[in-house]
Amino acid sequence: MASIEMRNIVKKYGDGFPAVNDVSLDIADGEFMILVGPSGCGKSTLLRMIVGLEDITSGDMIIGGKRVNDLAPRDRNLSMVFQNYALYPHMTVYENIAFPLRLSKTPDDEVRRRVTEASDVLELKEHLERKPANLSGGQRQRVAMGRAIVRQAEAFLFDEPLSNLDAKLRGQMRTEISRLQRRLGITTVYVTHDQTEAMTLGDRVCVLRKGLIQQVASPRELYEQP
Ligand code: ADP
Ligand code: ADP
């Protein structure tokens, strides 16, 4: 687990108006932070700079006390959960969850131990031999999270993970993500443009607008303000 500190982060694409314009934000160890705001406000750009998929124009990104500006994604030990789950259709649930460990050449018995542990937490034990096509949307989401868990990442990053789901499943998954995050106590940054998700999921909400932070507050504070 790790804290995430952003110091005066700026991102310019070409010579246009900055997509992220001097953002400073501290996310505590184990905290669940929501990034919310209208389309184009810079949410995804900010998330991608945390993961390392986008260069930072200026400012410092500090994860677990260490400046990571120049670290490649694979050296940051973070896990990003995408909207489309990015599961491999030809692989079983077990192999999908084990995938990052195979990449890092983890020994088989260690792979087995970690996949078993993750599938236990995620209640996927009965589904390990199935293929993603034979799972529900919620189960697929959990497989994607399983992959994040086995890497023993320092933080989870979510980019609108529920926006392709229907309303009912979205509600279930909201509950599930929130439950898991509390159980694992892992630092989480969650991007959404959905007000309900913003108000129900996180410990704090960071409201962005045109690349600037408008407000950082708990859902309760946001709710109670006039
Ligand atoms: P959000 O996730 O809040 O919708 P983005 O971070 O995707 O916002 O985009 C913020 C701004 O940066 C937008 O004006 C968008 O057009 C611009 N932008 C995003 N990605 C690129 C890119 N690869 N090249 C140029 N401009 C981009
Ligand atoms: P490169 O082309 O520099 O090797 P890749 O994009 O192929 O980089 O990613 C290499 C490693 O970086 C992956 O195996 C993974 O561990 C990590 N990585 C890449 N993208 C992400 C992401 N979105 N979330 C978490 N880790 C990532």
- Give per-residue pLDDT as tens, 42-81: 999 999 999 999 999 999 999 999 999 999 998 998 988 8
pLDDT digits (tens, 9 = 90+) for 98-144: 998 998 899 999 999 999 999 988 889 999 999 999 998 888 888 98
Distance 14 CA to ligand 2 centre (A): 24
Measuring from atom 9 of ligand 2, which residue has the nearest CA? 74
Measuring from atom 21 of ligand 2, which residue has the nearest CA? 73
What H or E segment, with its residue span, contains residue 91?
A: none
* Ligand 1 contacts CB of residue 145 (under 6 A): no
Q: At residue 14, does pLDDT exceed 80?
A: yes
Distance 19 CA to ligand 1 centre (A): 6
Q: What is the mean pLDDT of residues 211-216?
A: 97
Instruction: Quote the pLDDT of residue 142.
Output: 86
Q: Are 83 and 70 in contact (CB under 8 A)?
A: no
Least confident of 52-61, 179-188, 214-223: 179-188
Instruction: Quote the pLDDT of residue 102.
Output: 95
CA distances from 43 to 35, 92, 187 (A): 6, 33, 17
Q: At residue 226, does pLDDT exceed 80?
A: no
The residue whose CB lies within 8 Å of the most ligand 1 atoms, and thus the one to mutate among 10, 12, 13, 43, is: 13
Instruction: Quote the pLDDT of residue 83.
Output: 66
Q: Among 37, 5, 9, which Cα is nearest to 205's?
A: 37
Written as one letter, the residue type at 118 is: A
Instruction: Quote the pLDDT of residue 140.
Output: 87
- pLDDT-derived band of residue 223, with 50, 70 and 90 as boundaries? confident
Instruction: Quote the pLDDT of residue 107.
Output: 97
Burial class (CB in 10 A: 0-12, 13-18, 19+), 111: buried
Q: What is the mean pLDDT of residues 150-161?
A: 88
Instruction: Quote the pLDDT of residue 84.
Output: 64
* Ligand 2 contacts CB of residue 102 (under 6 A): no
Q: At residue 85, does pLDDT exceed 70?
A: no
Q: At residue 159, does pLDDT exceed 70?
A: yes
